[in-house]
Chain A
Amino acid sequence: MEDYRISKLRLLEAESIHIIREVAASFERPVMLYSVGKDSSVMVRLAQKAFHPGKLPFPLLHVDTGMKFKEMYQFRDRFTKEIGAELRVYKFQKAMDQGTNPWDLGTIQCCALLKTQALLNALQEGGYQAALGGARRDEEKSRAKERIFSFRDEYGQWNPKNQRPEIWKLYNTLAGQKESIRVFPLSNWTELDIWQYIHLEKIPVVPMYFAKEREMILREGQLIPLDGPVPLREGEKPQKVLCRFRTLGCYPCTGAVRSAAATVPEIIEEIMTVKNSERITRLIDHDQDSSMEQKKKEGYF
């Protein structure tokens, strides 16, 4: 008996592959943003499926702040080499040389330079017309309204009030003058979907997602890892904590959660029952009210 039922994961997979192929078919110079996190791992896996037996028809671009975790760099280099992808790393060297960091400048200023501006520079220098990114709508409330094909003006800014209607799967891929395009093939995936797909497809992810005893400090209700030279405040003492990371960012700004989930099924079980949004551990989203919307208007991915 032939079975024509389609599960949610396979439907999401088919839709994301459709979006990725649409980008490859519509643009001469697309690029896929690769942030080393679990969503990037899934997005890359989908792209591999989309073009099998060929290679990815676009490079992977990592906008590197220089402040990622060591394990992330190790994973990045090994993973991209294994799958034979073309990896391009962009660092905003000028800002890094001036010693940009969140402790002195604050997280807003630091992100604006090392992530937002760096991304705009990288896209411009590479001459990329369309950038695929792994953002999901369930991550944060302003993303819930962002289109799958999202247009940015010549300064890379997003105007939430002037979005094109996106109807059926008929994506309008034509940019206006001076506009560039960000495309989010994982828009409709949730954190649960991501982990279930990782489980189903046995996709490798950075080991930091799994629970382990780690050297941490407790600051403003967040567990901050001691992965780099984090300046200690008065009274702060490193302690061993059983924890894992739900999202990965820069080491000074990424908190961990107390968790004993050491395998993918355990993580899935945890997600099914934990109500906190995953971004709660990312300090940058709490900078100010509607901070993500603000960042995106300025060009943050």
Chain B
Amino acid sequence: MPQGAKSVHTILEQSEKADLLRFTTVGSVDDGKSTLIGRLLYEAGGLYEDQLAAIRKDSGRFKREEFDLSLAMDGLKAEREQAITIDVAYRYFSTPKRHFIIADTPGHEQYTRNMATGASTADLAIILIDACHGVSIQSKRHAFIASLLGIRHMVVAVNKMDLVDYSEEVFRKVEEDFNIFAEKLRISDLMFIPISALKGDNVVKKSGNTPWYEGSALLSHLETVHVQSDRNLIDLRFPVQYVLRPDRNFRGYCGQLAGGVLRKKDEVLVLPSLRKTHIRSISTGEKEVPYAFALQSITVTLEDEVDVTRGDMVVHSGNLPKIQRETDAILVWMDEKPLKTGEVYLIKHTTQLLKGTVAHLHFSIDPDDLKRKKAKELKMNEIGRATVQFFRSVFCDDYARNRETGSFIMIDPVTHATVASGMIIERGHLPLMAKPDEKASVKSPFLHRQEGIISLKDRSRLLRQKPATLWMTGLSSSGKSTIAFELEKRLMAEGRLCYVLDGDNVRYGLNRDLGFSPQDRSENIRRVAEVANLFNEAGVIVITAFISPYREDRAQARKIIGAERFIEVFVDAPVEVCETRDPKGLYKKAKRGEIPEFTGVNAPYEVPESPEVHLKTGEESTDLSAGKVYQYLKERGCLEACE
């Protein structure tokens, strides 16, 4: 039967090429969820049979059992009665057009945790509503969690239409009620279908009982809803999962593309090193391919020998993710032990495992009415918005933009239990820090500088000194910190109160959210100047040791601290000398291109035009330099009390 054989072949081929729809079904047992799943699994499975039987023209060939819906239902119900059914169960079926995975989540017990789990990988959610009862609080809760987890397609299946005489009025009322609630949610595709899972109306085939309903049957909708473009195919995100080095000649980087399209010869940037290189080859398994796209597991090789490890991310140079130490996120708490702010947790984000903490819990969200509540902790199954701090930079996007790079899980460092899942969101509209140029404009009527009773003069008399800020500026390894600490030692020996603000130390704490871009460097200097100013107000002599390469930034620091207290000290050593000192090996790394924007190598240093003190540390000793600064302080009258 060559004719038939060819057609069978076509069906097989179509099926091999068919795509996948993952959906989650939510609703309680009473809403008829088991009946619906039972019917879908059975009837959809039969579709192949019908198609093949038609080709073979020999229906006797296949012995199909009579469909016993009650049996299918009882099976599912019995499972539910066992304790383990409080969990998500996965079920599978195929039609000639598409393959399906159902994440079947129970509607009541542990619903938040389970629904979030089921929804996390789903493209679509079916919310079951009993036509006899209308939209319940539970239905709203289910819709909210589904939208929170980023499900774009939602089907509201209004079930048990047979019990309300297939009344259009009942159906429209559900539609209306649900739409009002759904306005607050992010759902781009919402569809209502009147069904009877028990009788089979509008499940697999369109029903004659609902002539007023113009849409398609549930299964046709599931078979045709477009989900392929729900992936982010715009922003290239390639988290490196595994480094493949079978021999000396081959070094490949493996991982599943989390976003975008990657092509051979593309110029890419490796995070966090920011090394630029080009893609030499891309392969899936043994096959070399000219390009790869989101969700493919690939192996790439690079044109240059770059140090890349698991947890790094390859991106296009013009399209960077957020590189952050801190972010706002929606947390779904999943552990018996509630969330404690300030506690250290392990965090898994893409292929990175790092430590972090929840710095601040803004509020919890009541899934029933979407109202925000003040919260000190999050208990199991509660949802809240929090500020999360990472102890290492994370390369991420907002969850709404990319589910893969916008999500993370939190792990208890002792028990290793998964305690929470997090979705990264944009930070609030309130600017958390004023930008330098905005500083003057931050003049809220509610902000007043507070004046105390103790004056600066009082402090000066107590400490027998006039406060000042010695601003050391110069290249890395020019001797800023060494001189600063030497000077601090001398002053302390004399009984003067002074304090060194050192670049590295400040970046570990106060400024750990900042990088090395010109903007971040400016903000770094602004904050240091503000801190120096506060120390000066307290009467303390401050010595700062920052490269501070930009004239503009130093001028701003002078403005913040006040010209009368600001002493610019140019620590001047030729770059060649600094390079030979280089205790941290930074120049070497920078020259290899491993550190971008390194002052003196690939970022500029603007020499001070008229510093108060000019130290030539290439020639003179630390002692001599520190002595010069000390002398200057003395001459300026800083080492005596105010009149």
Contacts and interface: CB of A to CB of B under 8 A. Distances in A.
Interface of A: 2, 4-15, 17-18, 21-22, 24-25, 48-55, 137-138, 141-142, 144-145, 160-161, 163-170, 172, 174-176, 187-188, 190, 192-193, 196, 199-200, 265, 268-269, 272-275, 290, 293
A170 B16 contact: no
Interface stretch (B86-94, B161-169, B436-444): B86-94
30 contacts: A4-B233, A7-B16, A7-B18, A10-B296, A13-B297, A15-B297, A21-B297, A25-B241, A49-B284, A52-B299, A53-B252, A165-B334, A166-B418, A167-B418, A167-B421, A168-B120, A168-B121, A169-B256, A170-B408, A174-B416, A175-B416, A187-B90, A188-B92, A190-B92, A196-B12, A196-B16, A200-B16, A272-B94, A275-B65, A290-B82
Given A24-B242, A269-B8, A168 B297 contact: no
Nearest to A54: B246
B241 A22 contact: yes
Interface in B231-255: 231, 233, 241-242, 244-246, 250, 252, 254-255
Interface string B302-344: 0000000010000000000000000000000010000000000
Given A170-B348, A272-B48, A50 B297 contact: yes
Interface string B69-81: 0000001000100
A51 B113 contact: no
Given A52-B285, A273-B48, 4 more contacts: A8-B98, A138-B92, A269-B12, A273-B62
A190 B48 CA distance: 15
B12 A14 contact: no
A14 B297 contact: yes
A10 to B, nearest CB: 8
B276 to A, nearest CB: 24
Interface of B: 8-9, 12, 15-20, 45, 48-49, 52-53, 62, 64-65, 75, 79, 82-92, 94, 98-99, 101, 113-114, 116-117, 120-121, 228, 231, 233, 241-242, 244-246, 250, 252, 254-256, 261, 283-286, 291, 293-297, 299, 310, 334, 346, 348-349, 351, 403-404, 407-409, 411, 415-418, 421
Dominant SS among interface residues on chain B: mixed
Contacts of A49: 284-286
Nearest to A276: B65
A4 B12 contact: no
10 closest cross-chain pairs (CB), A and B: A54-B246, A49-B285, A8-B20, A272-B48, A17-B297, A174-B416, A14-B297, A160-B84, A8-B99, A4-B293
A265 B294 CA distance: 30
A145 B88 contact: yes
A8 B92 contact: no
Given A2-B261, A17-B297, A144 B415 contact: no
Nearest to A290: B82
A2 B233 CA distance: 12
Nearest to A3: B293
